[in-house]
Amino acid sequence: MIRVGTLNLASGRDAGGRPLDAPALAAALAEVDVDVLAVQEVDVAQPRSHSVDQPATLAAALGAVDWRFAATVAGTPDPFRSWRPADPPLLRGPDDAQAAGPHYGVALFSRLPVRRWAVRSLGAGRARLPLQAPDPRTGRSRWWWFPDEPRIAVAAELRPAGGSGCTVVATHLSFAPHTALRQLARLRRWARSLPGPVLLAGDLNLVGPVPGRVFGAGRLVRAPSYPADRPRVQFDHVLGPASLAAHDPRARRLPLGDHRLVTVTVAPALR
């Protein structure tokens, strides 16, 4: 059995939108007990989040023996598109030096030994998302049209001692539903080439049963996850095949992020 989870970190901001420093970020994750955690909206060396190396901070807080951070953006995501795509995607692990400059992307953390890592680019859409954020020139809050950034998936092939293996794929899909559906179809094709059973964990930006049907897998957690304070929809999913059974599925609020942490324990289904 392994416990798998997914969390949209929102760059390490608390419920009031304030960025957490490294000690506060670690403390917010102190009670998160999972074997594998997919994390989205992760910052590295971003001035907006105290220049914290968030992947390294999270790995230490979670007790991860192995992890990978996949940068999709070099620079800081903003409505002016002053950033550039991290192309080719930067895949960094615990033994790799931090890349120069600020970066942003997704990460996958594991307390279990990882036999092999893999990464897959999913492209970006052309849609823009209206978001309310401070104007960097005046400090006043206003509405902006944010461009979509490149999306990516990271896979960890797990080989637990004394247990059966599986592959966990972490991702954060586009906020534009039609683009997210195309990206999910690409993930389904890629998953066929990975050692099974394959679990998909992440903020899929698709609601309810839709992602499971497109990916061709079961919805292992069924609970609203967004927004964190009063969740109305489920964007955050753990999907898996019928060969796996789900135990103790949960969606709970943490002291950070605007999504709830979604977790579930999976084990081979009894036949």
DSSP 153-187: EEEEEE--TTS--EEEEEEE--SSHHHHHHHHHHH
Listing DSSP states for 221-235 in one string gives --S--BSSSS--B--
Of the chain, the end-to-end C-alpha distance in Å amounts to 16
157 pLDDT more than 80: yes
Farthest-apart Cα atoms in the chain, separation: 62
CA–CA dist 251, 106 (Å, integer): 20
Q: How many CA atoms does the CB half-sphere of 126 hold within 13 Å?
A: 0
- Cα torsion 89, 95, 99, 102 to 10°: value is 90
Q: What is the pLDDT of residues 232-253, one digit of tens each?
A: 999 999 999 999 999 999 999 9
**44-96 pLDDT per residue, tens:** 999 999 999 999 999 999 999 999 999 999 999 888 888 899 877 778 999 99
Confidence band, pLDDT 50/70/90 cuts, at residue 127: confident
Does residue 103 surpass a pLDDT of 80? yes
Total residue length of the chain:
271
Token digits of residue 150: 């490149």
Lowest-pLDDT range of 2-6, 70-74, 130-134: 130-134
> Two tokens at 156?
């960890």
Which residue blocks in the chain are alpha helix, DSSP H?
22-28, 54-62, 177-191, 210-215
pTM reported for the whole predicted model: 0.94
pLDDT digits (tens, 9 = 90+) for 106-123: 999 999 999 999 999 999
